Amino acid sequence: MERAYKYRIYPTQQQINLINQIFGCCRFVYNHYLDKRQTLYKENGTSMGYNDCASDLTLLKKSEEHSWLKDVDSTALQSSLKALDSAFDGFFRRVKSGKKPGYPKFKSKRSHKQSYTTKNNGSSIKIVDKKIQLPKVGKVKIKLSRPIDGRILSATVSRSASGKYYVSLCCRVDKPTALAKTNAVVGLDVGIKDFAISSDHVRYANNKYLRTYEKKLAKLQRQLAKKEQGGSNWHKARRKVASLHEKIANQRSDFLHKLSTDLVRKYDVICLEDLAPSNMVRNHHLAKSISDVSWSEFSRQLVYKADWYGKTVVKIDRFYPSSQLCSHCGAKWSGTKDLNVRKWTCPCCGASLDRDYNAAINILNEGLRVLAQ
């Protein structure tokens, strides 16, 4: 299996200039062949595949007008062509969910986020004395926060909007050893007031990272709006805004990874609803809160970690009325559609029910039923 390891790197000014040059060349190659494929299709209804573009790129680099393409990593330019080819494949390919990527767009040099990917040919990418060897760039100081396992296949060098540089190493590794079985099962009801409520009566708090820094973010954005766009002070203010956004994203990601890993270690079977946050954010009263909790990312992490460590994640239908069913007798009461109702009494058996705990138990029961089929 393949696994990625992302690290912060600290290039020198000379290396920064070279990395930025590679960004620009990769962007040029992507845009050049996107334009060429569009033009060919408009003129005669044909297009160019990856092999055609790669052959043409060789001739392009030999021309005097574009000889500067020889100064950068050639595998990075080839990766741009593959990215363009994948973008067209994604646009024309039918997707089971009915959704598919849009038509490929031209890349802008004004974007503050840039990246390029290069392959490891032989040992062109390697770790040497707390530095990483990158093709054409040389040895760059790296913060090795954790050891690298497996064989390095490729490296993606990126620059964040805040001006930090990172490298993501794609490695070929063995599948992790399955965790010991705990014979425990759990149902999770995700929410906004609490991030998640388990059938074991455990509440996982919603830290509301965006809400926490909302006032500070608004202040920085007001300061940015007052600066003359493109000036040095404007760039300083822009980086402050980007750094705060990055901090919020990092805190959220750290929480999701720790919680998902903890749940996979504790339980053999995890049941949760297959929600569609992209549809739920149409409710403008809850859109910001729903986006802040990142249910989709949490679900994604649970699924791949469970696959790694030999556990099971069961997703029940999003239209299953988990909040409306009594977990004691199974009676349905539609009054819980109102989100203000946090506790209710079953009209049939008289049981006093907490909305979230009751939903988590119903999700667990439905998940086990689906798993048994």
Which one, of 256, 267, 221, lies nearest residue 240 by Cα?
221
pLDDT (0 to 100) of residue 99: 65
Which one, of 158, 155, 150, 149, lies nearest residue 120 by Cα?
155
Helix (H, G, I), strand (E, B) or coil at 12: coil
Selected catalytic residue, list 273, 274, 297, 366: 273
Active site residue 189: yes
pLDDT digits (tens, 9 = 90+) for 58-101: 999 999 999 999 999 999 999 999 999 999 988 887 654 456 67
Which two three-digit tokens encode residue 112? 């503050």
Active site residue 89: no
- Has residue 21 got a pLDDT over 90? yes
**pLDDT-based confidence at residue 140 (cuts at 50, 70, 90):** very high
Do residues 31 and 80 lie in contact, with contact meaning Cβ atoms separated by under 8 Å? no
Alpha helices in the chain (DSSP H): 13-44, 50-62, 74-92, 209-212, 214-226, 232-266, 277-280, 287-293, 295-308, 355-372
Mean pLDDT computed over 131-160: 95
* Residue 353 φ/ψ, nearest 5 degrees: -125, 135
Selected catalytic residue, list 189, 200, 254, 292: 189
- Has residue 275 got a pLDDT over 90? no
pLDDT (0 to 100) of residue 324: 86
Do residues 271 and 360 lie in contact, with contact meaning Cβ atoms separated by under 8 Å? no
Q: What percent of the chain has pLDDT over 70?
A: 98
Which one, of 281, 270, 362, 353, lies nearest residue 321 by Cα?
362
In the block, residue with structure tokens 């998902």? 260
Mean pLDDT computed over 111-135: 94
Mean pLDDT computed over 348-370: 90
Selected catalytic residue, list 85, 292, 356, 366: 356
- Has residue 194 got a pLDDT over 60? yes
What is the pLDDT of the chain when averaged over all its residues?
92
Which one, of 326, 310, 364, 314, lies nearest residue 202 by Cα?
364
Active site residue 307: no
**pLDDT-based confidence at residue 3 (cuts at 50, 70, 90):** very high
- Has residue 220 got a pLDDT over 60? yes
Mean pLDDT computed over 357-362: 93
Do residues 120 and 152 lie in contact, with contact meaning Cβ atoms separated by under 8 Å? yes
109 Cβ contact partners less than 8 Å away, ≥ 6 residues apart:
24, 27
